[in-house]
């Protein structure tokens, strides 16, 4: 996954702030879902002993940026 396609720590922090303020935006649900799925996958792999390096852990922790949906595009 390319670096520019990953969610940044700043974006995660902003998402947490929006969640705490109960003011989520379009696309936030997809990010939250991806984060939860990643956590479950990492926990499973860890318990199975399949995370053998920091590099693999960093790669597993990458959260993809959601693709913009066509529904949010202005009508032309």
CA contacts within 13 A on the Cβ side of 50? 8
Task: Enumerate the β-bridge partners of residue 6.
Answer: 64
Between 71 and 23, where is the model more confident? 23
pLDDT tens per residue across span 17-62:
999 999 999 999 998 998 899 889 988 998 899 888 888 887 887 7
Its pTM stands at 0.65
Q: Are 57 and 42 in contact (CB under 8 A)?
A: yes
Q: Are 1 and 61 in contact (CB under 8 A)?
A: no
Domain residue ranges of the chain, discontinuous segments joined by +: 3-64
Confidence of residue 73 (pLDDT cuts 50, 70, 90): very low
Residue 3 CA: distances (Å) to CA of 12, 48, 57: 15, 28, 15
Predicted local distance difference test score (pLDDT) of residue 74: 45
Q: Decide which of 67 and 39 is more confident.
A: 39
């Amino acid at each position: 996954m390319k670096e520019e396609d990953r969610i940044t720590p700043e974006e995660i922090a902003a998402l947490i702030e929006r969640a705490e303020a109960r003011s989520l935006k379009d696309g936030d649900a997809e990010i939250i879902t991806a984060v939860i799925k990643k956590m479950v996958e990492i926990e499973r792999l860890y318990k199975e002993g399949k995370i053998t390096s920091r590099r693999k852990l960093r790669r597993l922790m990458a959260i993809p940026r959601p693709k913009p949906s066509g529904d949010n595009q202005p009508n032309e």
